[in-house]
Chains A and B, each alone.
Chain A
Amino acid sequence: MKKVLTKYKQYIWLAVFLLATAASFLVGFNPGKVVFGNFTKFFIEMVSFIPFLFTIVGLFDVWFPKEKVEKHIGQESGLKGIFLVILLAMLQAGPLYGAFPVAYILFKKGASIKNIFIYLGAFSSLKIPMLGIEIGYLGLQFTLARTLVSLPLFIAVGYFMEWHLKGRDFKVNQL
């Protein structure tokens, strides 16, 4: 019973909304109609690009598997190391706390402090699926501006952390 409930819980909102909308149209409740109008606009906006975005993301996932990039990451230094951690971060998905276990793996594989924090920065806001949604909703111009401004700052944070933590016995713990 509990399992069934959690499975269908996410549909409750949708069901209530559709019922309320149907009722609004039946009795001529105007705010209900306006809200449904808003929803229709958002819905069309969403289906006009999100399925295509996921087509692109799915193909990307098969051709550039993150496991492959992860294998090549380690003690590379300099530009190549920075480039690789950013690339690895861009191939991920999910919220920032999903990046912490990967930070541990990077740490264990001997990645520098700088690269671990650059990874976290890039993970937070340069993931490819998210960039796709951002372009869809906020436009290419906004996405490019935000990305190009963010990148140097993430790298700067990485350098600062390395400078600050060097010789202080920094480590990433496994949970």
Chain B
Amino acid sequence: MVNNAFIFIVVSFVLTMVSFVLDRRKTIMGLKKGWNMFRNIAIPFLNILILVSLVLHIVPPSLIVQYLGAGSGYHGMAIAALVGSITQIPGFISYPIAATLIQQGASYMTIATFMTTLMMVGIVTFPLEAKYFGKKVAALRNVLSFVSAVIIGLLVGVFL
């Protein structure tokens, strides 16, 4: 974690310097844009951190290991894929949750499956998607995405 933060600090510092030398006005505009984006997500982000802190205290790690850990096998995959397909959690919120699950013993395979279905399969947004592409095509895209997510999970599990 410390290493990751270090990378972000160095990269953002170097990029800002380079950008500033190239074009002062653009740089200030970019920094303002970034700051506004940060401000927009800051409070929802804090709220979700509160929720995760609470749930972490209530749900014992052993339960997470049992259902989503390396030993949970296809059972864990199925839970991850189903929950990911049904729920609609914004991306930036799902990452702290995923990181916590991994720290508590969930396997990379189940987390990769969960994240991918979360992002690609939308049962809640299906009616909207069907309006754009038609029911058949929207259904096909969701099914293919679901299958892809499971394959992605399995392969990530092989590599990590």
B132 & A173 in contact (Cβ 8 Å cutoff): yes
Q: Is A100 an interface residue (CB 8 A)?
A: yes
Which among B5, B92, B131 is the interface contact of A130 at CB below 8 angstroms?
Answer: B92
Of the listed residues A35, A141, A160, the one surrounded by the most CB atoms of chain B closer than 10 A to its CB is: A35
> Which residues of chain A come closer than 8 Å to B30, judged between CB atoms?
55, 58-63
Q: State the Cβ distance, A171 to closest chain B Cβ, in Å.
A: 8
B120 & A48 in contact (Cβ 8 Å cutoff): no
- Chain B interface size, under 10 / 10 to 19 / 20 to 34 / 35 or more: 35 or more
Contact pattern, B 35-72, Cβ under 8 Å of A = 1, otherwise 0: 10110000111110110111011000000000000000
Q: How far is the CA of A61 from the CA of B29 in the complex (A)?
A: 9
Given A53-B12, A136-B5, A164-B140, do A17 and B50 touch, yes or no (CB 8 Å)?
yes
A14 & B46 in contact (Cβ 8 Å cutoff): yes
Within 8 A of B (CB), among A107-148: 117, 120-121, 124-125, 127, 129-130, 132-142, 145-146
Q: Is A87 an interface residue (CB 8 A)?
A: no
Chain A: interface secondary structure?
Answer: helix
Q: Is A69 an interface residue (CB 8 A)?
A: no
Q: Is A23 an interface residue (CB 8 A)?
A: no
Q: How far is the CA of A150 from the CA of B159 in the complex (A)?
A: 13
Which among B34, B43, B156 is the interface contact of A56 at CB below 8 angstroms?
Answer: B34
A125 & B120 in contact (Cβ 8 Å cutoff): yes
Contact pattern, B 95-137, Cβ under 8 Å of A = 1, otherwise 0: 1101100100000100110011001101001001101111001
Q: How far is the CA of A62 from the CA of B159 in the complex (A)?
A: 36
Within 8 A of B (CB), among A1-19: 10-11, 13-14, 17
Q: State the Cβ distance, B52 to closest chain A Cβ, in Å.
A: 6
A51 & B38 in contact (Cβ 8 Å cutoff): yes
Q: How far is the CA of A138 from the CA of B160 in the complex (A)?
A: 12
Q: Which residues of B contact A (CB under 8 A)?
A: 1-2, 4-5, 7-9, 11-12, 15-16, 19, 26-27, 29-35, 37-38, 43-47, 49-50, 52-54, 56-57, 88, 90-92, 95-96, 98-99, 102, 108, 111-112, 115-116, 119-120, 122, 125, 128-129, 131-134, 137, 140-141, 144-145, 148, 151-152, 155-156, 159-160
5 contacts between A and B (CB under 8 A): A50-B45, A104-B132, A129-B92, A137-B99, A142-B160
Q: Which residues of A contact B (CB under 8 A)?
A: 10-11, 13-14, 17, 31, 34-36, 38-39, 42-43, 45-46, 48-63, 93, 95-97, 100-101, 103-104, 117, 120-121, 124-125, 127, 129-130, 132-142, 145-146, 149-150, 153-154, 157, 160-161, 164-165, 170-173, 175
